[in-house]
Amino acid sequence: MRVAVGADHAGYDLKEAIKQLLESRGVAVDDVGTVSRDSVDYPDFAVRVATAVAAGRSERGILVCGTGIGMSIAANKVNGVRAAVVGDPDAARLSREHNDANVLAIGARVTSVELALTIVDVFLGTPFEGGRHQRRLDKIEAIERDPSMAPHPQTHGESKH
């Protein structure tokens, strides 16, 4: 597996710990920066990771900033990216099983290193369930292609589509 990792200045130290964990497990890491604690703009790194994942150069991406929120917002602007801000292992598992999230966003200011490394393990080790969840991802992909084609919401029971 190849994983692209990126962080801003607030996430630099946690990114380095995550990178060390991945490399110790034989995961190929594409570190897109930042390379220090000097102030930088998080969208610059979010787009680098997101485009690597969307283009298929990396199977997954991991982004770290203060809360994970800014990175997630920026990464989700890239078609084909499903970035999830995750703060616990259950959310990491569900982001993969139900949403096929391909980019993980973590907040270094709100997540301990130990917890973050557990989240990374769960995120990378959990497969997508498919089934009814694939139908929902298909709808998201349709919206990416043309937002005016967003399906009408179902009000009762499961969709017949």
Which residues are catalytic, by number?
65, 98
Q: Measuring CA to CA, which residue among 65, 142, 153 is closest to residue 107?
A: 65
